[in-house]
Amino acid sequence: MDLTDAEVEALGTHGYFLRDGFLGEPRALAVRDAALARVAAGVLRPAGIRRGADHSLDTSVRGDHIEWVLPGSDAALETLWHHFRELGDAVSSAAYLGLGRFDVQLACYPGGGAHYARHRDAFPGQSNRRLTAIWYANAGWTPQDGGMLRLHPEDTGTPVDVAPVLDRLVVFLSERLEHEVLPSHATRLALTAWFYGRGA
């Protein structure tokens, strides 16, 4: 897998890039079915938030339900996991980020206005998350469903709203880009990979 020149340029300038058709529709639909099956099995749990040393639940900050995804748990999810690994390698060589291991999380916003308040995924200086890659699984998404990802690029100061449509990938620098999930009015599925620096 290679990054295009435009993707490398966008990552450096704006802190993010988008890619549509990351897996191709047949594989994307298979991953969607696998994600829906995990949700139907009732294995997702309300996501926590960190406030200082405390871990707590607060749906006014974050309303999604999550599960950590391991390779080998399901064939379709494993396909996505391998694509994330290739993406990490491609970003490492094209953008000199030195990415190492990554974690993958399945998140489901159940609708009813569930959202995630503006935040960063990491803070500079700690050897933690360096790159975030979010892949969406929402076939048939319409604007009434809500749940747009709102990015806050530092360079322009103008927010950018991204529709969470099937097979769209959003990649951004975890320490740099503030973002939020606007209220979701339908089931909203995303799989996110967080890549750590090589020393982490």
Check residue 102 for interaction with ligand OGA (CB under 6 A). no
Of 59, 101, 72, the C-alpha closest to 84 is 101
Single-letter code of the amino acid located at 50? R
**CB of residue 196 to Mn ion, shortest distance in Å:** 15
Is residue 191 within 8 Å of residue 134, measured between CB atoms?
yes
Site string for ligand OGA, 105-144 (x = CB under 6 A): --x--------x----x------------x----------
Mark 51-61 as b/e (b = at least 16 C-beta within 10 Å).
eeeeeeeeeeb
Contact letters for Mn ion, residues 94-133 (x by CB under 5 A): ---------------------------x------------
Q: 3-class SS at 149?
A: strand
Chain residue at closest Cβ approach to Mn ion? 121
Residue 175 interacts with Mn ion (CB under 5 A): yes or no: no
149 binds, among ligand OGA, Mn ion, none (CB under 5 to 8 A by kind): ligand OGA
User: Taking CB under 6 A as the criterion, which residues in 177-196 touch ligand OGA?
Assistant: 179, 181, 190, 192
Dump strand ranges (E) for 26-142: 45-46, 49-51, 54-56, 65-69, 99-109, 114-119, 129-136
**DSSP string covering 64-77, please?**
-EEEEE-TTS-HHH
Residue partners of 158: CB distance under 8 A and separation at least 6: none
CA 20 to CA 7: how far, in whole Å? 12
Residue 31 binding partner per list Mn ion, ligand OGA, none, with a CB distance cut-off of 5 to 8 Å that depends on partner kind: none
What minimum distance in Å lies between the beta carbon of 159 and ligand OGA? 14
- Contact mark string toward ligand OGA, 49..88, x via CB under 6 A: ----------------------------------------
**Residues 143-182, mask of contacts with ligand OGA (x by CB under 6 A):** ------x--------------x--------------x-x-
Question: Where does this chain bind Mn ion (CB under 5 A)?
Answer: 121
